[in-house]
Chain A
């Protein structure tokens, strides 16, 4: 590059540096736009898929009602299924909302008193039908009561993702969900009897859009579940690790402070 003679060399340097800075910013923006496009594609797919059964069941119900074919018992049965599919949809949308909030730095914890034992029991309860379908049975190991202050929705999201993974990747086997009291800390565990996760994959699965199953895709899902879990756990100043469980399968262990700093002040 050449500059007019009368220009001092510092000016040329400054211009060059400014240009370099612009190039860097441009590259960052291109990357950010690409990440956002990926996210939109994932979001669209994730929200369209669970709609198929909902729309289908409603169409079917309408057709049957018009033809006067259903007894009230049958109607109730179908409406319950639609209700369950809607709950599933709301959960998926919640995960995506968390992804977007975390990515844009807009995520904030809302701490409130809550009982972890109750929360475990209630969350497991919501999986009854799904677990029955995939032949999984639950074992819940929690103290009678485990009070503390947490962000309830974040806790639900964490448990929900870990349990749905256990059902998805370790079907037809028992799943144990436990909570333990360690004084100022609590420990949540979800243990399955599935294929386990290889040492090489253990760190990778917590990345966004990373999946252990690789290119020869055999399962539905977008690999954001554990990323969201990891981010929520970190926001709560906790830790998460995954290990091989004794007797086969994986165990995810989440350790969380019982009363966080924000709460004590």
Chain B
């Protein structure tokens, strides 16, 4: 079965880049422009993995992680948290992500 990955980032360029990499790897990729839209897609499409930007308007990465933890259907879904800020500045506000990715990144990562 095709694995589904959700990318939540307000910057279209970043979302499209991750989309391109993962589509080439054979994943089905969905994108959302902010946390609110991201959660709506999670409820409907049940992604296997989420790439989540920290800085976003409407609902940021920390808000999304908290909402995910409260919901049984999203609680166990691994999250790759992305930010241009160093991890220690972001981590204290963000419960339960799996991996941290510092922006800007290169696709070899």
Contacts and interface: CB of A to CB of B under 8 A. Distances in A.
Interface stretch (A16-24, A57-65, A237-245): A57-65
A48 B11 CA distance: 14
Interface residues of A, number: 31
Nearest to A133: B12
Interface in B1-28: 10-17, 20-21, 24
Contacts of B20: 56-57, 60, 78, 81
Instruction: Identify whether the interface residues of A are mostly helix, strand, loop, or mixed.
Output: helix
A187 interface: no
A113 interface: no
A51 B34 CA distance: 22
A219 B33 contact: no
Contacts of B55: 217-220
Given A57-B16, A88-B13, A48 B104 contact: yes
A218 B57 contact: yes
A176 interface: no
B44 interface: no
Interface of A: 48-57, 59-60, 64, 69, 78, 81, 85, 88, 129-130, 133-135, 168-169, 171-172, 217-220
What 6 A-B pairs have minimum CB-CB distances, sorted nearest first?
A: A53-B13, A52-B104, A56-B17, A134-B33, A133-B12, A53-B17
Interface of B: 10-17, 20-21, 24, 31, 33-34, 36-37, 55-58, 60, 84, 103-107
Given A49-B104, A69-B24, A78-B20, 13 more contacts: A49-B103, A51-B104, A52-B13, A53-B13, A56-B106, A57-B17, A60-B20, A64-B24, A129-B12, A134-B33, A171-B34, A172-B37, A220-B10
